[in-house]
Structure 1
């Protein structure tokens, strides 16, 4: 996995990192004269606005631009750009694209950017960008999972708050919010149990496994070990199996927790149409739901926890700025990355995208906006995993879930099969 990086490039990267954190006069050096082009799949408006704001205090950022790319073609476009000698200077990557891009990225050596500095600077989930041979990206934002809930549906059954624990969800909320007519769901409590009509099924499974103690994937001896079918110390439960059993129970007609099935519309559509009491979704999805139904009386809340949990855990998609190996100006690239990831700039990006910053300092103050305050608190406890190939892994978890709900496999064998297939993706 280790990458060979020219000494001169390592020195330049180290100089920029050292300068950023040690306060030298690097900012006085014109490293941006040749221009910096950023590629990413996130909406361009957030970056364009932020770059414009930074330019007002640092005119050199007039030469910085962001190009929004199609997620389905960005990998091929990067290869073509490298072949043509026009590689972008920065890439916006996530924990879901890091693995596919790693062979074409610089790893910042720990001699230049120490583990201690990284851990002190960014929240825990950002460690996904730390590997044995260095740091593969400068984290800047995280899109955390939160609980969406319909205030009107809750008020109708005299519920004033969303559940804070899964035990409360099962004990109180399922029966009171669900409407069954001849075992047909006419109002669902929460969208869990299936794959194709639950927007974030893969990520929700990972959330449940992480809350059960798994780290999903672990780096060992320059290889990646898939761990969600392994027993964790101090517990007899296997996190992946427990997660699969809990998740699929909501789609089992024989279960007292039955509240979802594959005949229902997708969870975002049904929630937006006032037919679903709760769903687990990313913080960035708030605007989508609001735009679909401006009259919907809904809110977001932190993800429930296990009542017996000694630590709180959530889930998020993490994003970072990464320097391609063929970038023409790696020092300038890293300087731009550090600037856009710093307080002020990153908060603008986060606000525009409906997410949260990944820097501890930016999360220290509670935002006045009540929606942002939930996103920020959710980000602090959000963990994640290195997804080797998002499209292929989504198919793996789809097959795992559907094999259980269709009765073709028990949770244990379905999870073991999923582990083997994920392992084969690395």
Structure 2
């Protein structure tokens, strides 16, 4: 009997240690000194990275280094090349493709509980669709975890709208056109005295690439096919006409024609040109009635003009569209392939992007969530952010190969269309080729 009892005790102990009896296995406490680099302020990140309410990461000590955003990428890449980089670093969504080979994918779960692993399905169920682009590989690998998702919205000057007797901000692009025309004042010689909307140019329009991108998406097109990957900016779609016939259209061509019309003196909605100041500054100064921007622009606008009477409305949609399409950008945390503490670093970023720590980060940063379980538009959501919270689930994004080169390509598209030297098909064919060249690098 004693011998049998001893065998049972040994087996019971082994089951506990193996975790076969849930809840009885002692949770492993991870220990490591980790270094994290980023371009967010140390003041913002300090409390965020010091959270250790999960006993599993209580032994992790993280040192954060803030680097100015303008210098961040070059300093980080040089440090990684020299083998002196951090364990964890922050990147923008536009840097995923360019630096993918420097990122250590998260470990995949094997069906057992793990603090340092995540499945592709869990990632999809946790984070909104716009973050899947780039971060979630075709083979199910997860390259990093998003901190937030910021979306484009319509900022409007309430005083200008009231003076023009326009009771509400436009919800559709048709309404946007009418509002822009109504609030723009053009002199007899074609000078813009008052601007109804800041759109149509490149150098003096904040976020012009993002605006053009979402217009392409709303028109039924795409820019990059991530699975291949290859450019599809010049790919046509079939569209049913009012007379019942079907024809092939190029969504990018439609989107760009609409965008550039605001800087075309021959159009009724002419409201912007190269001579105007930066669109954000113009909005702050009351020189344009409508500005398209992100939630991150709110504190900038308030700091520059605390007395500006402005509102924020959802990003306009196509009239009659069955599905809302918005546009989102995000920053994310990733683990370096060169880290000597990969498992611990992955456990740490999984923890600080989990619900409660991430909620604290969003509260301090004033940015909307990328996590599905944090998307609420109730009284607890800051009033000025409710529009952005309401757009996270309908937002799209695309795989940007190289932000600097994309800027040059899109700038060339807009300026070439405005000059009318080349046909739209020639311009977009050239852009398509340049995008494919970037994707092959």
Q: Which TM-score applies when normalising by structure 1?
A: 0.88
Q: How many angstroms apart in 2 are the aligned matches of 1:422 and 1:27?
A: 52
Select between 158-167 and 34-43 the one with higher mean Cα deviation.
Answer: 34-43
Select between 130-139 and 189-198 the one with higher mean Cα deviation.
Answer: 130-139
Q: How many angstroms apart in 2 are the aligned matches of 1:105 and 1:206?
A: 26
Give the number of the structure whose alpha-carbon radius of gyration is greater.
2
Deviations 1:154-192 (A, max 9, x none): 00111121100001112x302221111222111111111
What displacement does 1:110 show?
A: 5.1
Show the counterpart of 2:5. Answer: none
Check conservation: 1:347, 1:356, Cα contact below 8 A: no
Q: 1:211 aligns with which of 201, 211, 218?
A: 218
1:89 aligns with 2:104: no
1:385 aligns with 2:398: yes
Query: What root-mean-square deviation, in Å, do the aligned CA atoms of Structure 1 and Structure 2 show?
Result: 2.3
Q: How many angstroms apart in 1 are the aligned matches of 2:395 and 2:222?
A: 12
Question: For residues 259 and 392 of structure 1, do their structure 2 counterparts lie closer, same or farther at Cα, with a shift above 3 Å needed?
Answer: same
What displacement does 1:92 show?
A: 1.6
1:293 aligns with 2:305: yes
Q: How many angstroms apart in 2 are the aligned matches of 1:276 and 1:162?
A: 14
What displacement does 1:286 show?
A: 0.6
Unaligned runs of 5+ in 1: 1-18
What displacement does 1:116 show?
A: 2.1
What displacement does 1:355 show?
A: 1.7
Q: How many angstroms apart in 2 are the aligned matches of 1:246 and 1:26?
A: 62
Q: How many angstroms apart in 2 are the aligned matches of 1:109 and 1:299?
A: 44
Q: How does 1:17-166 map to 2 (within 5 A)?
A: 28-31=27-30, 33-52=31-50, 54-55=51-52, 60=58, 63-108=61-106, 113-128=118-133, 129-133=135-139, 134-166=141-173
Show the counterpart of 2:252. Answer: 240
Check conservation: 2:172, 2:317, Cα contact below 8 A: yes
Deviations 1:93-145 (A, max 9, x none): 22201011101112236565333222211111111111123111112311111
Q: Secondary structure at the match of 1:67?
A: strand
What displacement does 1:412 show?
A: 2.8
Unaligned runs of 5+ in 2: 1-18, 111-117, 241-247
Q: Secondary structure at the match of 1:404?
A: helix
Check conservation: 1:400, 1:414, Cα contact below 8 A: yes
Check conservation: 1:108, 1:136, Cα contact below 8 A: yes
Show the counterpart of 1:302. Answer: 314
Q: Secondary structure at the match of 2:324?
A: coil
Deviations 1:235-289 (A, max 9, x none): 6321211111110011000011111101011101110001110011111101101
Q: How many angstroms apart in 1 are the aligned matches of 2:344 and 2:26?
A: 10
Q: 2:196 aligns with which of 173, 177, 189?
A: 189
1:265 aligns with 2:296: no
1:361 aligns with 2:368: no
Question: For residues 65 and 25 of structure 1, do their structure 2 counterparts lie closer, same or farther at Cα, with a shift above 3 Å needed?
Answer: farther
What displacement does 1:306 show?
A: 0.2
Check conservation: 1:37, 1:64, Cα contact below 8 A: yes
Q: How many angstroms apart in 1 are the aligned matches of 2:191 and 2:401?
A: 38
Q: Secondary structure at the match of 2:296?
A: helix
Select between 87-96 and 73-82 the one with higher mean Cα deviation.
Answer: 73-82
Question: For residues 227 and 147 of structure 1, do their structure 2 counterparts lie closer, same or farther at Cα, with a shift above 3 Å needed?
Answer: same
Select between 324-333 and 54-63 the one with higher mean Cα deviation.
Answer: 54-63
Show the counterpart of 1:325. Answer: 337
Q: How many angstroms apart in 1 are the aligned matches of 2:76 and 2:414?
A: 34
Show the counterpart of 2:417. Answer: 404
Check conservation: 1:244, 1:411, Cα contact below 8 A: no
Check conservation: 1:95, 1:384, Cα contact below 8 A: no
The count of residues paired between Structure 1 and Structure 2 equals 400
